[in-house]
Amino acid sequence: MRRKVLFVLMSLVVLISCNKEEESTNNLVNIEKSGVLAKEFLGSKVGYEKNGEFVLTVNAKELVHSFNNFSSNFKLGYRAVSHHIEEIDGNNYLRFFNEDGSISTIALLKEKNNNSNSKKSTEASLVYAGNTVCTTEACANCCGCVPDGDYCSACQLDGTDCVRTTSG
- Residue-wise pLDDT tens digits, 117-149: 554 556 889 999 999 999 999 988 888 899 998
Mapped to the 3 state alphabet, what secondary structure does the chain carry? CHHHHHHHHHHHHHHHHHHHHHHHHHHHHHHHCCCCCCCCCCCCEEEEEECCEEEECCCHHHHHHHHHHHHHHCCCCCCEEEEEEEEECCEEEEEEEECCCCEEEEEEEECCCCCCCCCCCCCCEEEEEEEEEEEECCCCCCCCCCEECCEECCCCCCCCCCEEEECC
pLDDT at 103 over 70: yes
pLDDT at 104 over 90: yes
- Residue-wise pLDDT tens digits, 72-83: 988 899 999 999
pLDDT at 3 over 90: no
